[in-house]
Amino acid sequence: MKWSEYTAMEQEKIRELLDKYFGGETSEDEERILREYLGSASAPDSMTREFGYLAMKPEQVPEPSEGFETRLRDITRPGITMHHPDRRRILITIITTAAAVAAGAWLLMSSLSLHGERDTYSDPVIALAEVRSILLDVSERMNTGTAQLEQVSTITAKPEELKVLSTINDLVGKNLSRLRYLDDLQNQGNKTETK
């Protein structure tokens, strides 16, 4: 098609072709149509000013001369040679990393053993009897206090009624103090035995 045949073409269609061109979706024929239209006298001045450069034929890029790639490589990478890391450095890095991991593990284990758990009673029968006694006492007190807890769950309990909970708290504290007392007695007995 000649440019004279495109004089009737609407600007919208040319705009659509331009959008398609800039999206990289045009065929060679569509690009030729755009070049002919934009190079013609029937194209509006606004389009010619904005897209007139598309009417110019693209320049042919010349083939590189012989030896171009070698000269380019010499300029961009002068004297660069790839060398592999020294085996001795790799070995030293591995050994120091292993030593650091071993030292960290030793420090962690030694700190855990210093602060580790220990038995408070040497006789397990006494310890079991004391635990049963405390749990039984707490269980009895909790069973008597559950009626008050039902009112708390409906959020209708008055602050006076919540005093039962402080009584339970006092009972638990008293029982824990008994355990601490027995623990202190046990520690004093251990100290006198070791002397």
pLDDT digits (tens, 9 = 90+) for 32-50: 888 888 888 777 777 777 8
Lowest mean pLDDT among 13-27, 52-66, 157-171: 157-171
Query: Which residues 6+ apart lie within 8 Å of 14 measured at CB?
Result: 34, 37, 43, 47
| pLDDT for position 170 | 81
How far apart, in whole angstroms, are the C-alpha atoms of residue 55 and residue 52? 6
pLDDT digits (tens, 9 = 90+) for 73-101: 878 776 665 566 788 888 899 999 999 99
Percentage, residues of the chain above pLDDT 90 = 5
Q: Please state, as a whole number, how many other Cβ atoms lie within 10 Å of the Cβ of residue 186.
A: 17
Over range 102-116, report the average pLDDT.
Answer: 78
| pLDDT for position 3 | 43
Over range 44-61, report the average pLDDT.
Answer: 75
| pLDDT for position 98 | 93
| pLDDT for position 1 | 46
> pLDDT band at 23, cuts 50/70/90?
confident
Percentage, residues of the chain above pLDDT 70 = 70
CA distances from 158 to 9, 79, 96, 152, 167 (A): 88, 88, 67, 8, 16
| pLDDT for position 10 | 61
Question: What average pLDDT is seen over the chain?
Answer: 76
Q: Which of 28, 36, 41 has the alpha carbon at shortest distance from 14?
A: 36
How far apart, in whole angstroms, are the C-alpha atoms of residue 34 and residue 54? 8
Question: Is pLDDT of 109 > 50?
Answer: yes
Question: Is pLDDT of 161 > 50?
Answer: yes
Q: pTM for the full model?
A: 0.29
Give the containing element (helix H, strand E) for 135: helix 124-153
pLDDT digits (tens, 9 = 90+) for 1-14: 444 444 555 677 88
| pLDDT for position 145 | 62
